[in-house]
Structure 1
Amino acid sequence: MNRPARLVTAALTASAALLLTACGSGGGDESSSDKIAGADSAGKSSASPSVSASADGIDRPEIKLPSDMKLEFEGRQTGDAAKDAILADNERAVSTVWQAVASGDLKKSGMAFYYTDTALRAVYDYAKNNNANKTSWAGTLRYFDRQVTVFDKTSAAVTYCTDESNANVKDLKTDKVNVVETSPESYVYYNTGVKKNKDGVWQIWQLHEDRGSKRCQP
């Protein structure tokens, strides 16, 4: 989702696809997640309670990130309950991908709880590739200018910018952090399609990335 995605790609000599670029235009049928670890448990109440569990009664997967991996989400409260719920699930979705990258446990990452269709396949493949190469990131990612457009009771779009200037590639084999120079590519604009499933979770099904977008530049 971010500079780490770009940095990790560079560290792997371009062998790993950028997280959201790989997603392209979403859609596809739900069979795309048939062989994804943990996908069969998505939406089921057997998931572990989340540290940031809300009062909506949904039994969510637990999300724990390492101490050197920090996420900052701005604009959590819009004053609109529906939009706030969508933003909260977007935040959880992003976090599950980084949990998968950091922990190496795809099945228990929670990605299949918050992603579906081609978006799930994209984030799964991204995390799997980085796990295979023992590559992650350390530092801080800032998510800002987060906007929600609600289409109806079960569909919406979420757009936001990501500032990756304070995050760098981490080699999990050595724990060494490799600093990468900040550039316009460190700022990314994302456009995501989300839909509410039968359990009330707003899942990402479609992802688009505009790396180096002028609208996100400082």
Structure 2
Amino acid sequence: MNRRPTPLTALALTAVAALTLSACGSDDDSTAKDSDKIAGADTGSEKSASPSPSAPDSGGRPKITFPSDAKNVFEYQKTGNAAKDAALADSTLSVNSVDEAIFTGDTGTKALGFYNTDKALSAYITYVQKYIDDGETWVGETRYFNYKVTLSGAKKAYVSYCSDESKSYIKNKKTEKVDRSPATANSYVLYNTSLTKNSDGIWQTTDVVSNRGNEACQP
């Protein structure tokens, strides 16, 4: 089942090129293909699996809550590099913030604007609004994997990763009917994102592009 209604294409062409290069960079172990894998860590021994809802963070970070019938799971290895690991962690909170907005039917949630800005925020607002307009949400579990992260200076990061939506399903809010259509190649999506560290030390997602059905993410 493809729970995502529209592709995300906010990323500028120059950023796409940079992300594609980062996915093939020599400082990461795992490989990423094409232009749509999202944030991932490549080295280190500790594997992170972050289900939703997200735990509240310190420093004024908003708490993100999910309904009991939906969950995101993030699978990546910590790199051992503090900046990379912080960018990876905040990229997962960006994803959760978008889904929380879908669940609440509100594009003005605190978390959405906290973890996303610029082109990414505009794209995500449009994305969430499509769910709202269609009267839909989603249920089940979405898995994020094949993470890669590359730094560019002290305040810029590129994160790529895949998502597996084969166990998450569109739900009509009014009828509560769940579309449990079988998974296809389009149930797997490659993401590329750009993140910038703001003055408060938050790695905000600034650009995003997705590619549904990308070969790099297929099982």
Q: What's 2:82 paired with?
A: 81
Kindly indicate whether residue 58 of structure 2 is the aligned counterpart of residue 52 of structure 1. no
SS of aligned partner of 1:4: coil
Distance 2:13 2:118 in 1: 7
Could you tell me whether the CA contact under 8 Å between 1:165 and 1:187 is conserved in 2?
yes
Superposition map of 1:2-17 within 5 A: 3-5=2-4, 9=5, 17=6
AA paired with 2:55?
Answer: S
**Structure 1 residue 26 displacement after superposition:** 7.6
Query: CA shift at 1:76, angstroms?
Result: 5.2
How far off is 1:106 after superposition? 2.3
Cα distance per residue 1:103-139 (max 9 Å; x no partner): 1122225111111111111101111221122101111
Q: Look up the equivalent residue of 1:140 and give its one-letter code.
A: E
Q: How many residues align?
A: 181
Higher relative contact order (CA 8 A, sep 6+): 2
Scaled by the length of structure 1, the TM-score of the pair is 0.77
Task: Give the 3-state SS of the residue equivalent to 1:152 in structure 2.
Answer: coil
Corresponding residue for 2:69? Answer: 68
Q: 1:34-183, aligned counterparts within 5 Å?
A: 52-54=55-57, 57-75=58-76, 77-183=78-184
Return 5+ residue gaps in structure 2 as ranges: 15-52
C-alpha separation in 2, matches of 1:130 and 1:154 = 32
**Using the alignment, how far apart are the partners of 1:94 and 1:81 within structure 2?**
20
Cα distance between partner residues in 2 of 1:200 and 1:24: 22
- Where structure 1 has 5 or more consecutive residues not aligned to the other structure, the ranges are 10-16, 28-49
Q: 1:26 to 1:139 in 2, by over 3 A?
A: farther
Question: What is the RMSD computed on CA atoms of the aligned residues?
Answer: 2.0
| Residue 202 of structure 2: aligned partner | 201
1:76 touches 1:84 (CA, 8 Å); kept in 2? Answer: no
Aligned 8 A contact 1:76 1:87 in 2: no
Q: Partners of 1:128 and 1:63 in 2: how far apart?
A: 19
Give CA-to-partner distance per residue, 1:147-176, whole Å, 9 cap, x none: 110111100100001111111110111222
The CA distance in 2 between the partners of 1:152 and 1:3, in whole Å, is 36
Following the alignment from structure 1 to structure 2, what is the Cα–Cα distance between the partners of residues 137 and 51? 17
Cα distance in 2 for residues equivalent to 1:213 and 1:169: 21
Per the normalisation by structure 2, the TM-score is 0.77
Q: Distance in 1 between matches of 2:109 and 2:210?
A: 26
Instruction: Decide whether the 8 Å contact of 1:26 with 1:206 is kept in 2.
Output: no
Q: Matched residues in 1 for 2:157 and 2:54: separation?
A: 26
Whether contact under 8 Å (1:97, 1:109) holds in the other structure is: no
What letter is aligned with 2:162? C
Is the CA contact (8 Å cut-off) linking 1:58 and 1:200 kept in structure 2?
Answer: no
- How far 1:94 moved relative to its partner? 0.3
Secondary structure at 2:85's aligned position in 1? helix
Deviations 1:59-109 (A, max 9, x none): 111200111111010015222221111111001000011001111122225
The one of 3, 12, 21 aligned to 1:25: 12
